[in-house]
Amino acid sequence: MTEDPPPGADPRRWKALAVTLVAGFMGLLDVSIVNVAFPSIQHALNASLSDVQWVISGYALAFGLALVAGGRLGDALGRRRMFLIALTAFILTSALAGAATSAFWLVAARLLQGLAAGLLTPQNSGLIQDLFRGAERGRAFGMFGATVGLSTAVGPVVGGLILAAFGPEHGWRWVFYVNVPIGVLALILAARLLPRWQRKPGTRADIDFVGAILLGLAVVCLLFPLVQSENGGLTKFWWLFPVGVLVGFGFLRWEVRTVRRQRASLLDIRLFTETPGYSSGAALGAVYFSGFAGIWLVLALFFQDGLGYTPLQSGLAVTSFALGSAVTSVVAGRLVSRWGRWVTVTGLSLVIVGLTLVAVLVPLSSRSTAGFAVALPLLLAGIGGGAVISPNTTLTLECVPTRMAGVAGGALQTGQRIGTAIGTAVLASIFRAGVGSSNAYERGVSLAMYGAVAVTVVALAIGLWEVWSRRTRVSAGERAVAETAVASDVHRG
């Protein structure tokens, strides 16, 4: 028995979602796929360590910088229009990166590619808010969550396969070129399937440029030292953190003033102060990504530097997490309408158990069996991880007005990008401290996993608090309804 679609639902909505998710997958995949091509790029372009670091981290920086502005532009100008513009830019910049003949060329192309991906990604969550309602929205966000989780986890595998297929000399170019044919096909289908924009009441087309500049400066100040952590960025640029906090405070003051004057704001602060569940959901997502996203660099360093795995073998060693996450994301999207925040609480608990088992088993395993020893614990963690991202996205955005869906999704993703940068820097530092001069790689990866567990426990605490908070909101709503009914009866009497 199939569920009837909501009244007025676009009959092509599922096809449109599939196309946008393919494009979103490419943008998110490029955050991690380049990691395995690090040595090939350095050799082919005679690049310094700092140059290649910027190829990786510059993309992440530009990506995080553009997310909120991309969401706001989608709200103001139409998601179809912004999706097509951003996807076209992503295709062109991918081709530009693949054709690079110097390190400077490649870094510049990656910065532009990151900006395009940052403009593209918020349109996915915004389109889901526009096209789906009720239980269908939960399933759609389940697919979106599967895309986010899978793209993060399989990047090393896909990168390793491309390098193996095209060879180390030219394989790194195809890491970028592969986006071109897939992107062109997605562009053609999106032009046919995505609904044309109709301005919604309360939506204004003017853009808050002052707010965009202030937020951009704040994000750069917070992310730059983190993405440069491999090059001593935390030591050299620590002073950017307090500057970023001050600029961020100025941004908040400006946005409050803009809303008070009834002008179009970049990020309506009422999302955090008046939208039930948004602030706690955004915090949970940022904290979870701080623990979750950083483990991939640690495991890649462990398997490749510590155990001598090839990039492909290293990627395959963590495939079980990706498989578990992909399956559970879709299932969790269907369960979230019934079980609510308990889905994410259960998922976070499984992640904690899985990563704890990795931390315990690695020092107990021989170097020849370590890859097999972590497979089942990572599968368990992946099953839990799939029950975190998509349900949290659904629950965080469920009360957001559709006119602010793009910017709300962009802000949510920005928190996740900042969390990713923080987690990667912190867990990599813990890993290297544990390895030390004695090359104790097993001890390093174990300590890093315990660090990821500690961060995930914080995310679990936020989830449990939100369970209590949602129950309190429901009880208050029920009391208000009952009091209204009693007052109505008295009035009639």
Count of domains forming the chain: 2
Q: Residue 8: which pLDDT band, with cuts at 50, 70 and 90?
A: low
Most confident of 153-157, 186-190, 205-209, 237-241: 186-190
Task: Please indicate whether residue 295 or residue 311 has the higher confidence score (pLDDT).
Answer: 295
Determine the average pLDDT of the residues in 121-148.
Answer: 78
Looking at residues 22-34, what average pLDDT do you find?
A: 82
pLDDT of residue 69: 80
113 and 65 part of one domain: yes
Percent over 70 (pLDDT), the chain = 88
Lowest mean pLDDT among 221-230, 288-297, 350-359, 384-393: 221-230
Q: What is the pLDDT of residue 482?
A: 42
- Asked if 247 and 270 sit in the same domain, the reply is no
Token duo for residue 18: 């599939």
> Is the model more confident about 31 or about 442?
442
Same domain, 49 and 132: yes
Q: Name the domain boundary from 265, 297, 313.
A: 265
**More confident call, 333 vs 73:** 73
Is the same domain home to 249 and 270? no
Q: Is the pLDDT higher at 443 or at 393?
A: 443
- Whether the per-residue pLDDT at 17 is higher than 50: the answer is yes
- Judge if 248 and 270 occupy the same domain: no
| Model pLDDT, residue 381 | 93
Q: Do 387 and 448 fall within a single domain?
A: yes
Is 322 in the same domain as 360? yes
Report pLDDT for 354: 95
Is pLDDT at 2 greater than 70 in this prediction? no
pLDDT band at 1; cut points 50, 70, 90? very low
The structure tokens listed for 308 are 């001598």
What pLDDT is recorded for position 463? Answer: 92
Are 387 and 457 contained in the same domain? yes
pLDDT of residue 113: 93
For residue 257, the enclosing domain spans: 208-265
Task: Let me know whether 217 and 344 are in one domain.
Answer: no
Any domain includes 200 = no
Confirm whether 6 is domain-assigned: no
92 vs 271, residue with greater confidence: 92
- Rounded to an integer, the average pLDDT of 399-406 is 74
pLDDT band at 99 (very low <50, low <70, confident <90, very high): very high
Least confident of 136-150, 194-208, 411-425: 194-208
Q: Comparing 81-90, 106-115, 399-408, 420-429, which segment has the lowest mean pLDDT? A: 399-408
